[in-house]
Structure 1
Amino acid sequence: MCRLLTIILFLEAAICFGQNHENVIIGGRVTNKKNQAIAGANVFAVGSYDGATTDRLGKFSFSTVKTDTINLQVTAFGYSPITVPLRSFPQNDIRITLTASENNIEEVVVKAGEFRLGNQQNAALTALDIVTTAGSMGNIIAALETLPGAQVAGENGRLMVRGGDPHETQTYINGIRVGQPYTVSGNNLPVRGRFSPMLFQGTNFSTGAYSAEFGNALSSILNLKTAKEPDEAKTDLSISAIGIGAGHTSRLNEKSSLAFNANYISLAPFAKIIKQNMDWTNPYQQWSGEAIYRQRSEKQALNIYASFAGERLGFRDDHIDYGQNVETNIRSSNYYTNANYTKYLANNWKWDSGFGLGYFERDLHFSTFEIPTAATDLHIKNKFQKNVNSSLRYFFGIDYFYQNYKERFSSPEYVTPRYGFANHLAAGYGEVSYHIFDRLHADAGLRYTVHTQTRDYLEPRAALTFIADKKHSASLSYGLFHQQPTEDIQKFDPELPWQSAQHTILQYSYADVGKQLRVELFHKSYDRLVRFERGDPTFSRNYATDGYGKVNGLDVFWRDSRSIQNLQYWLSYSWTNARKLEKDYEREVQPPYVAEHYASLVAKYWIGAWRSQVGITNTFISGRPYHDLNQPGYVQSYTRPINTLSANWSYLISQQKIIHIAVSNLLGNEPIFGYQYAQRRNNTGTFDRQALTPTTKRFVFIGFFWTISNNKKDNQLDNL
Structure 2
Amino acid sequence: MKQAYKTTTTTILLLISAIFVTAQTNISGVVTDKHGEPITGVNIFIEDTYDGASSDDEGRFSFRTTENGKQVLMATFIGYKSWEQEIELSAEVHVQIELQESVNTLDAVTITAGSFTANDEGRASVMKPLDIYTTPSANGDVMAAIRTMPGTQASADDGRLLVRGGDVYETATYIDGLVAAKPYYSKTPDVATRGRFAPSLFNGVQFNTGGYSAEYGQALSSVLVLNSTGKAENDNTGISLMSIGGEANHTSSWDKSSLMLSGGYVNFAGYDKLFNSNIDWVKPVESVNGTAVFRYKPRSSGLFKAYFTTDYGKLAYNVPAGSDSNPMKISNRGITVYSNLSYRDCIFDKTCYRVGVSATFQDQKTGIGADDVDTREWSVESRFAVIHDLSEGIKLTWGANETSHLYNQDYIRAEGENYTGEFDDHLFGVFVEPEIKFTKNLAIRPGLRSEYSSVINKWNVAPRFAVALKTGENAQLSAAWGMYHQTPQPDCLKLKTDLDFEKATHYILSYQFGNVSERLFRAEAYYKTYLDLISHSAGENGLPTNLQNTGNGYAGGFDIFWRDQKSIKGFDYWITYSYIDTKRKYKYYPEKVTPEFISDHTFSVVGKYWVSKINTQIGMSFTAASGRPYNEPNSNTFNGERTKMYSDLSLNFSHVFYLGNHYSVFYCSVNNVLGNDNILSYRPTGIADAHGNYSLVPVKRDLKRMVFVGLFLNF
TM (norm. structure 1) is 0.82
Q: Is the 8 A contact 2:538 2:544 kept in 1?
A: no
| 1:591 lines up with 2:595 in the alignment | yes
The one of 300, 303, 310 equivalent to 1:301 is: 303
CA-CA distance at 1:684 after TM superposition: 3.5
RMSD: 2.3
Specify the code of the residue in structure 1 equivalent to 2:113. Answer: A
Distance (whole Å) between structure 1 residues aligned to residue 502 and residue 373 of structure 2: 28
Q: Equivalences for 1:201-212 in 2 at 5 Å? A: 201-212=203-214
Q: Partners of 2:498 and 2:325 in 1: how far apart? A: 38
Q: Which SS does the other structure have where 1:457 is aligned?
A: strand
Asked if the contact 1:320–1:676 (Cα under 8 Å) also holds between the matched residues in 2, the reply is no
Contact kept in structure 2, 1:372 and 1:409, CA below 8 Å: yes
Q: CA deviation at 1:672?
A: 1.2
CA deviation map 1:663-686 (0-9, x unaligned): 111111111121112435312342
Aligned to 1:704: 711
1:682 aligns with 2:689: yes
Distance 1:321 1:550, change over 3 A: farther
The residue type paired with residue 236 of structure 1 is G
- The residue aligned with 1:377 is 379
Q: Which amino acid aligns with 1:193?
A: G
Q: Deviations over 1:227-275 (max 9, x none)?
A: 1112210101111111111101111x31111111111111111111111
SS in 2 for 1:154: coil
- Give how far 1:198 is off: 1.8
Larger displacement relative to structure 2 (480-489 or 350-359): 480-489
Q: In the alignment, which residue of structure 1 is the partner of 2:390?
A: 388
* In 2: Cα distance, 1:385 partner to 1:321 partner: 62
Alignment correspondent of 2:231: 229
Matches within 5 A, 1:200-599: 200-251=202-253, 253-296=254-297, 297-320=299-322, 324-454=326-456, 455-512=458-515, 514-534=518-538, 538-539=542-543, 541-599=545-603
2:465 aligned partner, one-letter code? A
Work out which of the residue numbers 610, 620, 623 in structure 2 matches 1:619: 623
Q: 1:177 aligns with which of 176, 179, 204?
A: 179
Which residue identity does 2:146 align to in structure 1?
A: L
Which segments of 5 or more consecutive residues in structure 2 lack a partner in the other structure?
1-38, 43-77, 80-101
Q: Which amino acid aligns with 1:313?
A: L
Q: What is aligned with 2:115?
A: 114
Q: CA deviation at 1:331?
A: 1.1
- Asked whether 1:663 is paired with 2:673, we answer no
CA drift of 1:416 comes to 1.9
Q: What displacement does 1:164 show?
A: 0.4
Aligned partner of 1:189: which letter?
V
Measure how far apart 1:152 and its partner are.
Answer: 4.0
Matched residue of 2:491: which SS? helix
Give the secondary-structure state (helix, strand or coil) at the position aligned to 1:690.
Answer: strand
Match 1:600 to one of 592, 604, 620: 604
Counterparts of residues 32-111 of structure 1 (less than 5 Å): 109-111=110-112
Following superposition, the deviation at residue 495 of structure 1 comes to 3.0
Aligned partners of 1:442 and 1:462 also within 8 Å: yes
Q: C-alpha distance in 2, partners of 1:679/1:279?
A: 19
Question: Secondary structure of 1:160's partner?
Answer: coil
Amino acid at match of 1:620: A
Are 2:321 and 2:687, in contact at CA under 8 Å, matched by a contact in 1? no
What displacement does 1:654 show? 3.3
Q: Normalization by structure 2: what TM-score?
A: 0.83
Shift of 1:372: 0.9
Asked whether the equivalents of residues 373 and 410 of structure 2 are also in contact (C-alpha less than 8 Å), the reply is yes
Quick check: 333-342 or 431-440, which moved more? 431-440
Distance 2:248 2:445 in 1: 45
Q: Give, in whole Å, the separation in 2 of the partners of 1:602 and 1:535.
A: 45
In 1, distance between residues paired with 2:409 and 2:208?
32
Deviation at 1:608, TM superposition (A): 2.0
* In 1, Cα distance between equivalents of 2:108 and 2:197: 25
- Structure 1 CA distance, aligned partners of 2:712 and 2:646? 33
**2:659 is the alignment partner of 1:652:** no
In structure 1, distance between residues paired with 2:179 and 2:677 = 36
Instruction: Pick 1 or 2: higher relative contact order, CA cutoff 8 A, min separation 6.
Output: 1
Q: Which has the larger radius of gyration?
A: 2
Q: Tell me which moved more, 295-304 or 535-544.
A: 535-544
**Residue 649 of structure 1: SS of its match in structure 2?**
strand
Larger displacement relative to structure 2 (579-588 or 674-683)? 674-683
Question: Aligned in 2, Cα 1:382/1:259: closer, same or farther, shift over 3 Å?
Answer: same
By how many angstroms is 1:330 displaced? 1.5
Spell out, residue by residue over 1:468-516, the C-alpha distance to the aligned partner (whole angstroms, 9 max, x if none): 2330100110010001122222222233211000001000000235010
- The 3 A distance-change label for structure 1 pair 492 and 233 is same
* 1:34 to 1:561, Cα distance in 2 relative to 1, 3 A: farther
SS in 2 for 1:141: helix
Q: Offset of 1:301 from its aligned partner?
A: 1.1
Q: For 1:647 and 1:339, locate their aligned partners in 2 and report how far apart those are by CA, in whole Å.
A: 38
Distance change (3 Å), C-alpha of 1:425 and 1:104: farther
Unaligned runs of 5+ in 1: 1-32, 37-76, 79-100, 709-720
The residue type equivalent to 1:682 in the other structure is: D
Residue of structure 1 equivalent to 2:137: 135
SS at match of 1:327: strand
Q: Which residue of 1 is the match for residue 63 of structure 2?
A: none
Q: Distance in 2 between matches of 1:236 and 1:34?
A: 50
Residue 319 of structure 1: CA displacement?
Answer: 2.4
Q: Distance in 2 between matches of 1:594 and 1:126?
A: 28
Give the letter aligned to residue 462 of structure 1.
Answer: F
Letter paired with 2:292: A
Report deviation, 1:438: 3.1
Q: Which amino acid aligns with 2:534?
A: V
Task: Number of aligned residue pairs: give it.
Answer: 614
Secondary structure (helix, strand or coil) at the match of 2:694 reads coil
The list of structure 1 runs, each at least 4 consecutive aligned residues, that deviate by more than 6 angstroms after superposition, is 33-36, 101-107
Cα distance in structure 2, aligned partners of 1:144 and 1:609: 30
User: Helix, strand or coil for the counterpart of 1:697?
Assistant: coil
SS at match of 2:144: helix
In the aligned structure 1, how far is the partner of 2:450 from the partner of 2:511?
Answer: 30
Which whole-Å deviations, capped at 9, do the CAs of 1:278-325 have from their partners, x for residues lacking one? 222211011001011101121311000001101111122222489622
> Structure 1 residue 617: deviation in Å?
0.5
1:104 is displaced (CA, Å) by 7.2
Counterpart residue identity of residue 195, structure 1: F
Q: Deviations over 1:164-219 (max 9, x none)?
A: 01110000001100111110132211111000122111011100010000001000
1:178 partner amino acid: A
Does the 8 A contact of 1:111 with 1:477 survive in 2?
A: no
The verdict on how the C-alpha distance between 1:468 and 1:696 changes in structure 2, with shifts beyond 3 A counting, is same
Contact residue 107 and residue 121 of structure 1 kept, 8 A: no
Decide whether aligned partners of structure 1 residues 536 and 572 sit closer, same or farther in structure 2, where only a CA change above 3 A counts: farther
